[in-house]
Amino acid sequence: MEESEKKVRCLFGTDGVRDVANRGVMTPEMALRLGRSYVLYLTERGVPRPRIVIGRDTRRSGNMLVNALVAGMLSAGAQVLSLGVIPTPGVSFAIKQVKAQGGVVVSASHNPAEYNGIKFLNSDGHKLCDDAEASIEEYLGDNLIDDWRPTGASIGEVVERPDIAQSYARWLASLASSIPLLDSRIAFDCAHGAASDILHVINKNRGVSSWMLTGDAPDGLNINEGVGVMNMAHIASVVKEENAQVGIAYDGDADRVLLTDSLERVLDGDIILWVLARWLASQRKLGSGVVATVMSNLSLEEHLKKDGIQVFRCPVGDRYVLEMMKHRDSCLGGEQSGHVIISEFTSTGDGICTGFIFLRACSELGENIDSLVDTFDRYPQLLRNVEISRSRSVDPAFISHISQEANQKLMGQGRVLIRPSGTEPLMRVLVEAKDPQLMREVSKDLVDQIQLKCC
């Protein structure tokens, strides 16, 4: 394999391509080639001159990368609708509204401002599967990408469509209009990201005076800085200071949501899934059960089992959640981190929608938000990252053996999950148990064994 080809392999992680903007793989040169490759991928699958929507979050580097992507897509003959700043689920919304054949989001989600990323969506508004991303990577190393040169009227066009963000905001406002709890004192943390303008539009449309917005003044450099789902202490402090009933926080592209109750305690994705599953089941709209990742707490399974609701596990990553939802005919899935997909409303994780629907579910189920953390009573979890040698491979049989031994020690009162990091020379060791002392002992034993064998 040529050195130039090696550099473009394995670009895609669990959420698109991501790096420090203007460095590594996140340069305008690479963005242009990715744009061309994406159009070529669509064209060779029977979609000539595809219509593609593109949106971004509030990072300063966003314009640079969007312009490069658009140039690449136009040079390959695509028709591009540029949405400006809009949440990731807003791009998914736009794809369906204008019947586009694909979409692109420029965002690094919860990462600091110096990072940026590119993720591609299909005609259903879903993130591309692994095989599709692998095909796009292959085109990067193919001579066809440079030979594909439409001219004259075959060159693509770009149309600015900032109105679609307004349509998306109006749709969200319509969801919020029938939820009594949204008339209460609520604090929203927009993470200085793509949710900022959207929440202002919704607030204005509803004429609500009891909402408090924070993290709603993006300057291109402050996205996720001390705010948002990665810094829940901020929204908790606002809830306390403003005597709010609940706090709702998003990440930079607003596809994730976490909440705090009035006692400043975090309501994570597991609690959100627990409430939504029971609400959807009561309406006979849940499907076969709930999809959760391997990181979700065992308490989720225990509680939903009482209501006759099954939990299906999948690998970490919202694309794998969606794949399992399709496979199991489930209408609800999500991650502990706050990515939640409610298929009745969205085709991807939508933090703003999920937060609104969660409050609706609490209201209709008669749930006291301040009691949810106590009632859920999660198993204690201990996650440790163990550095391993880059030069030594990890024997899967060894990991399987020590995992089985550890699970025997837990005697059905917990579980063990050991998995390699996808980006660093680390093994992630998660131990979950009802007995905190036993949890710590099992965790220490596993870490010691891995260090002895793999370092």
Active-site positions?
109
Other beta carbons less than 10 A from residue 404's beta carbon: 10
Residue 384 backbone phi and psi in degrees, to 5: -125, 140
Evaluate whether 311 touches 289 at the Cβ level (below 8 Å): yes
- The contacts of residue 225 (CB under 8 Å, 6+ apart) are 112, 113, 192
Question: Which stretches within 44-143 are classed as H helix?
Answer: 61-75, 88-98, 130-140
**Which of 218, 273, 14, 216 shows the shortest CA–CA distance to 128?**
14
Q: Please state, in angstroms and rounded to a whole number, the distance separating the CA atoms of residues 79 and 228.
A: 34
Beta-strand runs (E) in 58-217: 79-85, 102-106, 115-121, 158-160, 186-189, 211-214
Evaluate whether 448 touches 454 at the Cβ level (below 8 Å): no
Evaluate whether 299 touches 376 at the Cβ level (below 8 Å): yes
Q: Please state, in angstroms and rounded to a whole number, the distance separating the CA atoms of residues 358 and 322.
A: 19
Return the C-alpha torsion angle 161, 163, 169, 174, nearest 10. -130
Angle at CA of residue 59, ends 54 and 65, nearest 5°: 45
Q: Please state, in angstroms and rounded to a whole number, the distance separating the CA atoms of residues 124 and 146.
A: 29
Q: Please state, in angstroms and rounded to a whole number, the distance separating the CA atoms of residues 219 and 12.
A: 28
Evaluate whether 28 touches 64 at the Cβ level (below 8 Å): yes
Q: Alpha carbon of 417 to those of 120, 213, 292, 304: distances in Å?
A: 30, 38, 14, 21
Q: Is 343 exposed, middle or buried (0-12, 13-18, 19+ CB in 10 A)?
A: middle
Other beta carbons less than 10 A from residue 120's beta carbon: 24
**Which of 437, 424, 352, 344 shows the shortest CA–CA distance to 387?**
424
